[in-house]
A and B are shown apart, each in its own frame.
Chain A
């Protein structure tokens, strides 16, 4: 329920709805507000996008990308010590051996496991939390694929390049757009229930920055609709795909020929460590929202702590665009319990409109995400047209009731059940009242630099999904992450398996790269207490921490 003081503003939104509706019907949704020109986009980004703030970045002082400016919070965890003492591990006696080790539990990891298994190699999938715990499962709006006759992979390519401000790596965008329909076909063969029209054709809608309706969906449980099937399939192939959950990788292992050749695994509950020897390793660890860049709330999963970037970087893998973070325009800001939660872009895809405190539309609803977010911030910060929340945040109204008038009564309930449910828990009926939103930390645009075979710059090390960089340049479009994780997950699985099969001999294992990295960290004077990957965010309040005074950890008594 919205507080009393917001009622005036809510009435203004209602009052302006008929004229906005008329505009939408008369001119067409794509013309309700002029889309920004290239120059206007550049201006709003420069002035209001959080990435452009001075504090946003700092030069990295160690490793392959030394000297490059990257997101400050990422630089902090890269300039950190290993969690382990490399000297205590006897690498001559691995605890487990496999052909392909996959690290992660989302759709990229699952796709990789299924395709690697098809190549006939041994597959071990290890993940920090449960199988399925990932940003993948939270994706709501959809997955892009050029499946309609009026669309093509070439169009898709162009939209992705433009959305990413042309910084994207062309070979990755080619793979993304050309594989897309094939991936959809594969997912349907596995039993994914995409939304369809009565004639069987796949329902397609617009997302921000699409020139053709290309967004496929599974209601607003798109990520879950895909991942639940991939996970079920993995569980059905458990004879050939071994899964170990609650076991984060804390360090990669290399061999004396400079290849990645395994990993150190921590049993998250017993704190035992295990040596896994593997011919190839695929990092599919997801993103970094839980680093809370610049203090932003996040849409991300609890485990999204940038682990894969840290692991890969210590092993010498190059990073790309780690200076770029995606803020999703529509994160919930009210009620406070759901601060930062994702409100899917599909709301705007269905015709929902962002309006200010006076009920005015101030931006084209489906600009690329970075542009749309920056416009929201401008409207609140510079134009003072945001709505204040009881906890002091600001927000923009996202008019969802207008969808009922544009697309018919019942559309919101049918197309956005997760959103309806989410807000109903807090007594807000989004079929009748708008949602209050503000940009929220959403996606890691950059990551490990890979080619279209998902090979990083280090032999034996592959990356797929959000942990990889380059596909989206410095801005991802809606529906291309669900696509990226499946397209490149599959590719990583296939190519890593083929590499593993072709490897004739293996060499001695080593953690020398960890020792070397630790020495570099020491040289720049980092506090010994700073270790990474951080594995989980820390939400314990200070008044509790002050009492957590265990000085020695012995036996069963741990912190």
Chain B
């Protein structure tokens, strides 16, 4: 590729069936905007972290319905595109302080999990390449720790839930597993506990009011002379 090669080829795409020509190499999101769409729904962080831009598409000569994030998927010639900016799911309400980290919670709140037919469609649909079925199965076995870790990179785009023949809302199941793990199952930190006690008992109050009153020159001196803790090994 030459440095000054900025003139791009155009490719044809179909936005909800209507044909547009957009620059080669565009993401689906920038192609929509290039075509004149002012996005309100279907655009969020634009970096693959928020799940706002779930999109389904088909490629030329291919029967498969594909899934992706509009901000992360590059257009291809003759691509057929529709965005799915909202996934209707019913979110059960719970008090995280009053539930226990057991399989019973899932049986109660998400009974459909146990009807998983192990078709793996959820995993295939996931634009994050998460092994979605793996964490659904972990929940079925009551392995909340595994479910929490495997589901962790989920961005809630909802594509798994839309494709699931067992009507599971996997992303909601995942967040419940994560909260139960984070609150009840992860090992505790005695250092944090100690520090919270110290702050609540006012241990740092005097020193804080003292440093707050320091003259600028003195504070600067403290700052530039402070020692730096060595980093990790290496």
In the complex, the answer to whether A147 meets B50 with C-beta atoms within 8 Å is no
Convert A192-226 into 0s and 1s, putting 1 for each residue whose CB lies closer than 8 angstroms to a CB of B: 11101011111001100001110000110101110
In the complex, the answer to whether A219 meets B153 with C-beta atoms within 8 Å is yes
Convert A151-169 into 0s and 1s, putting 1 for each residue whose CB lies closer than 8 angstroms to a CB of B: 1111101110110001000
In the complex, the answer to whether B189 meets A200 with C-beta atoms within 8 Å is yes
Of the candidates A25, A129, A337, the one whose C-beta lies within 8 Å of that of B74 is: A337
Q: Determine if B115 is an interface residue (Cβ-Cβ < 8 Å).
A: no
A233: chain B residues at CB < 8 Å are: 96
**Contact count band on A:** 35 or more
Of the candidates A24, A188, A338, the one whose C-beta lies within 8 Å of that of B182 is: A188
In the complex, the answer to whether A202 meets B189 with C-beta atoms within 8 Å is yes
A229 to B119, CA, bound (A): 29
A96: chain B residues at CB < 8 Å are: none
Of the candidates A157, A190, A202, A341, the one whose C-beta lies within 8 Å of that of B211 is: A157
Q: Determine if A555 is an interface residue (Cβ-Cβ < 8 Å).
A: no
Q: Determine if A392 is an interface residue (Cβ-Cβ < 8 Å).
A: yes
The residue on B at minimum CB distance from A37 is B224
A212: chain B residues at CB < 8 Å are: 229
A302: chain B residues at CB < 8 Å are: 39, 43-46
In the complex, the answer to whether B52 meets A229 with C-beta atoms within 8 Å is no
A224 to chain B, nearest CB (A): 6
Given the contacts A202-B192, A206-B231, A137 and B96 also touching, CB distance less than 8 Å: no
Q: Determine if B226 is an interface residue (Cβ-Cβ < 8 Å).
A: yes
The residue on B at minimum CB distance from A239 is B93
A304 to B87, CA, bound (A): 24
A158 to chain B, nearest CB (A): 6
Q: Determine if B234 is an interface residue (Cβ-Cβ < 8 Å).
A: yes
A37: chain B residues at CB < 8 Å are: 224
In the complex, the answer to whether A153 meets B189 with C-beta atoms within 8 Å is no
B180: chain A residues at CB < 8 Å are: 191
A223 to B44, CA, bound (A): 14
Q: Determine if A34 is an interface residue (Cβ-Cβ < 8 Å).
A: no
Q: Determine if B167 is an interface residue (Cβ-Cβ < 8 Å).
A: no
In the complex, the answer to whether A229 meets B175 with C-beta atoms within 8 Å is yes
Of the candidates A191, A351, A538, the one whose C-beta lies within 8 Å of that of B183 is: A191
A64 to B78, CA, bound (A): 55
Interface of B is mostly: loop
Q: Determine if A388 is an interface residue (Cβ-Cβ < 8 Å).
A: yes
The residue on A at minimum CB distance from B101 is A191
In the complex, the answer to whether A236 meets B227 with C-beta atoms within 8 Å is no
The residue on B at minimum CB distance from A540 is B36
In the complex, the answer to whether B6 meets A392 with C-beta atoms within 8 Å is yes
In the complex, the answer to whether B34 meets A200 with C-beta atoms within 8 Å is no
In the complex, the answer to whether A5 meets B183 with C-beta atoms within 8 Å is no
Query: Can you sample 27 A-B contacts with CB below 8 Å?
Result: A129-B41, A132-B156, A133-B52, A146-B195, A152-B204, A158-B219, A162-B224, A166-B220, A174-B208, A174-B212, A188-B182, A188-B183, A188-B186, A191-B179, A196-B187, A201-B192, A219-B153, A224-B50, A224-B155, A246-B41, A337-B27, A337-B74, A390-B2, A539-B30, A539-B33, A540-B38, A548-B36
List chain B positions with a Cβ less than 8 A from chain A: 1-6, 25-27, 30, 33-41, 43-50, 52, 72, 74, 91, 93-96, 128-129, 148, 152-153, 155-156, 175-176, 178-183, 186-192, 194-196, 199-200, 204, 207-208, 211-212, 216, 219-220, 222-224, 226-234
New contact pairs (17) apart from A150-B229, A153-B204, CB-CB < 8 Å: A5-B2, A28-B230, A29-B234, A37-B224, A159-B223, A166-B216, A178-B204, A188-B192, A206-B231, A221-B153, A239-B93, A299-B47, A301-B45, A302-B45, A390-B3, A406-B234, A422-B72
Interchain residue pairs A-B with the least CB separation, the first 8:
A191-B179, A200-B187, A162-B223, A406-B234, A544-B36, A191-B182, A3-B1, A193-B182
